[in-house]
Structure 1
Amino acid sequence: MKIARLALLPLAVMLLSACNPLMRASWDTLKAATQGPQPLELTREQVEAAPYYQITIVAPTGEAVMALVRLQGGVQFWLASTQQVLMIQDGLAIRSVGFNDNLDGTRFVGESPFRTGLHRIADGLRAERQVDFAGRYQMGARLISHFEKQGLETVRILDRDLELLRVDEHIEMPELSYSARNQYWVDPADGFILASIQHVTPELPLRIIQVRPMRPNAK
């Protein structure tokens, strides 16, 4: 993917920010790094009033709603009015633009366990992917992960309690001497990731919640 492919997104930014005061206010919290994170209060009625699929994110600089503005080759482009972009494929954040630290590319070595579904993986599964951090001059850094299923947990999304399967991903990047734990809460029926905590970069942990997901029978 090239930055040039994002050229049409500023128009979507204007359209989105003009139509929903709640989104406009929540997106602005991403600019409040010097003031500390601002809590985001969101109701199902407010989510359903906007004509977009939506996620919420919690970043080190604040909380925000992002809207789906593009789907290309299975990659979802989620956009904030402040022009942050998060690209998600099969529930995994694979690239970010406009944050304080960015992931510039993701490539799996072999088949992606996210594509086959985390509800189907075996405990202890090992996977490897290559990640790019242009700002760190690190291209093709190895990211090694091990997955463990943790059983069903109750997760509240807006006004609904859902029984979701939690899967932990223990990640290690030897070239950066970095390790962390990602967590995913997936629908045990089809593996759809409804909530997650992902260390997109060592400086960009995100909590991502699908408040209006793009999936079959979604409202």
Structure 2
Amino acid sequence: MPQPLSALPPSAIGRCGLILVLALTLGLAPGGCQTLERYDRLGDRLAQATGLSDAAALPSRDQIAASPFAQIAVDVAGNRPTVMTLETVQANGDTVWTSSDLVKLVLRGARLVQVAGVPDELRATMALGQDPVAATGRAGLPPVPDGLQTARHVDLDTAQGYRTVVLDCTWHWDEREQVEIAGASFATQVLVEDCSARALPWSFRNRFWLDTASGFAWQSLQHPNRGEPSLIRVLKPAG
């Protein structure tokens, strides 16, 4: 069984202000930043924009190569990216990443399954059947037919309390895209996951940029909770 992340002090995130700044930058009308639909539309535009965040905030390719640690960069709502280093690989293959301000997250393959140290923590994720992006060690793109339906439940710890939510999701392939990350370029195929909660007014779209040769997820845009999407980019893979 994967080990739970320890509870950590929440870090403050200026959500509405970040949304308004990004809206103006991307040519979107300001306002309505409190709604989930607004976050989703902004996530769609972020995914299509060139340079999803400030490239100068990322380490150089030489710095990445010189580091002995695996690294990822995580942006929340288009904020400047936070570089996180690999803390450990759990027995089931989950990778645990930590930042200098003690935010921790866990990836299962490309799936973000736990987040701690933020206002709305994702405590656990369990697939109810298959999860096309949770596998590790796969060679090539996953065999996902358009319209594939999956489900999972997530445990959320929020200011309103702790609750388990079941998500129903539908998958489809999008276009091929060349992804640039800290000076490196990767040919990818975009896999899209549209999800909705059974008992909450919550729906969202995740995207995964998968290497066309290996199937490795170099980049993803995921919604770990009912707030802003998180853009995850792999700077130096684990292992």
TM-score bin (small chain): 0.7 to 0.9
**8 A Cα contact 1:32 1:62, kept in partner:** no
* 3-state DSSP of counterpart to 2:199: helix
Q: What is the distance in 2 between the residues matched to 1:62 and 1:140?
A: 31
Matched, 1:179 2:181: no
The aligned counterpart of 1:12 is none
Matched, 1:2 2:25: no
TM-score by length of 2: 0.72
The aligned counterpart of 2:154 is 131
Pick from 128, 140, 145 the counterpart of residue 164 of structure 2: 140
Matched, 1:206 2:208: no
Amino acid at match of 1:122: P
Matched, 1:82 2:105: no
The aligned counterpart of 1:103 is 122
TM-score by length of 1: 0.78
The aligned counterpart of 2:68 is 51
* 3-state DSSP of counterpart to 1:200: coil
**8 A Cα contact 1:100 1:204, kept in partner:** no
Q: What is the distance in 2 between the residues matched to 1:32 and 1:121?
A: 35
Matched, 1:66 2:50: no
* 3-state DSSP of counterpart to 1:47: helix
Deviation at 1:41, TM superposition (A): 3.7
Structure 2, unpaired ranges of 5+: 22-52
Deviation at 1:173, TM superposition (A): 1.1
Which piece of structure 1 moves more, 188-197 or 112-121? 112-121
Which piece of structure 1 moves more, 86-95 or 197-206? 197-206
RMSD: 2.5
The aligned counterpart of 1:168 is 192
Higher RCO (CA 8 Å, separation ≥ 6 residues) = 2
Mapping 1:25-44, distance limit 5 Å: 33=14, 39=54, 40-44=57-61
Q: What is the distance in 2 between the residues matched to 1:142 and 1:206?
A: 20
The aligned counterpart of 1:14 is none
For this pair of structures, how many residues does the alignment match?
A: 192
Cα deviation digits, residues 16-58 of structure 1 (max 9, x gap): xxxxxxxxxxxxxx76749969942431112222210000011
Q: What is the distance in 2 between the residues matched to 1:201 and 1:44?
A: 31
- Which structure has the highest helix share of the two? 1
Amino acid at match of 2:174: Q
Amino acid at match of 1:123: D
Describe the shift of the 1:119–1:152 C-alpha distance in structure 2 as closer, same or farther (beyond 3 A).
farther
**8 A Cα contact 1:101 1:204, kept in partner:** no
* 3-state DSSP of counterpart to 1:175: coil
Describe the shift of the 1:45–1:132 C-alpha distance in structure 2 as closer, same or farther (beyond 3 A).
same
**8 A Cα contact 1:119 1:186, kept in partner:** no
**8 A Cα contact 1:119 1:190, kept in partner:** no
